[in-house]
Amino acid sequence: MNGLKTLYKPNLIKSSTSLLTRGVATQSILPNPYPEIDGSSFGASRLQDYYHNVIQENLMVLKYQNQGTNFIPTKPEEKVKTHFTVLTKGSIHSRRPPIVPVHSENIPELDYITIQTMMPEAIASKHNLLSAFLILETITGERATTIYSRSNVALWKLRSGMPIGAKVVLKGAQMYQFLDKLVEVVLPRIKEYKGFSVYSGDGTGNLAMGFPKSAVGLFPDLEIIYDTIPIVSGFHVQFNTTGQRNHDARLLLSGLGLPFNPEIPKKQY
């Protein structure tokens, strides 16, 4: 027995030291235990693939303008202006870029989506703004940024630089995932939803819609934690496209699944 102990004892000591050294060596190679994982990179976006495979070709056909090989561009007659506006730097009357024909390099596409909310309760206490951060970050999966006031309003006890809202900007695959969830799940749950007006748009290819407090709980991401949110507030969603006109944006967003209702009058929108 003593002989067996002497034979196996050096082997045990040798194996234990090798395991210790192996553990020390692997600690320097291991990555951060809490890495930032982007869940959108594990699967393709259905709506993004649908745009590149179907909508992009249809927009090219619908917006195509045939000018021919012998086309000679002519400058249209300019109307004589009776008054002139001096455009200074930072003026609200910015000059719009000229509209160019649609070709293969400037097909309208969805550039980014902005989701933002304003909370009057944040004026009394900035801690109330945590509810807005919780809502936006839960439904988008992105980190929200703070919106600060730019002016002083004595009636509302608002000072310049106070945090009053939150905002999230979505681009790429996560933008299409949010739009897919909005079109397939959230909008069909809204009772008596009439859709967008065919006259909607800001004139430069951007559209916006608002969600009241009652519609916030329709997002599937908030169903579990909806009762734990202290203050529920609505928010606005703005779709920013590369279209040059409102018609380009409406044509693109209708192909992506947003409903447009021609029965909505222009005055009520």
pLDDT (average), residues 85-102: 62
Give the per-residue pLDDT at 185: 92
- 15 or 263: whose pLDDT is higher? 263
| 131-170 per-position pLDDT tens digit | 999 999 999 989 999 999 888 888 888 888 888 999 999 9
Give the per-residue pLDDT at 85: 53
Contact present, 179 and 237 (Cβ < 8 Å)? no
* Element (DSSP H or E) covering residue 112: strand 110-118
The contacts found for 180-187 with CB under 8 angstroms, 24 or more apart, are 180/45, 180/46, 180/47, 180/257, 181/219, 181/220, 182/237, 183/47, 183/256, 183/257, 183/258, 184/257, 185/218, 185/219, 185/220, 186/215, 186/218, 186/219, 187/258, 187/259
DSSP string, 153-199: BTTTTB-TT-EEEEEEEE-HHHHHHHHHHIIIIIHHHSTT---EETT
Q: What average pLDDT is seen over the chain? A: 77
Whether the pLDDT of residue 33 is over 80: the answer is no
Q: How far separated are the first and last CA of the chain, in Å rounded? A: 95
Q: Among 7-21, 68-82, 121-135, 250-264, whose mean pLDDT is lowest?
A: 7-21
The CATH homologous superfamily to which domain 108-248 belongs is Ribosomal protein L5 (3.30.1440.10)
- The domains of the chain are located at 108-248
Mean pLDDT is highest, among 112-116, 159-163, 217-221, for 112-116
Whether the pLDDT of residue 98 is over 50: the answer is yes
Q: At what angle do helices 130-140 and 172-181 cross, to 10 degrees?
A: 90
pLDDT (average), residues 254-266: 85
Give the per-residue pLDDT at 77: 56
| pTM for this model (two decimals) | 0.70
Instruction: Show the tokens assigned to 217.
Output: 């709980």
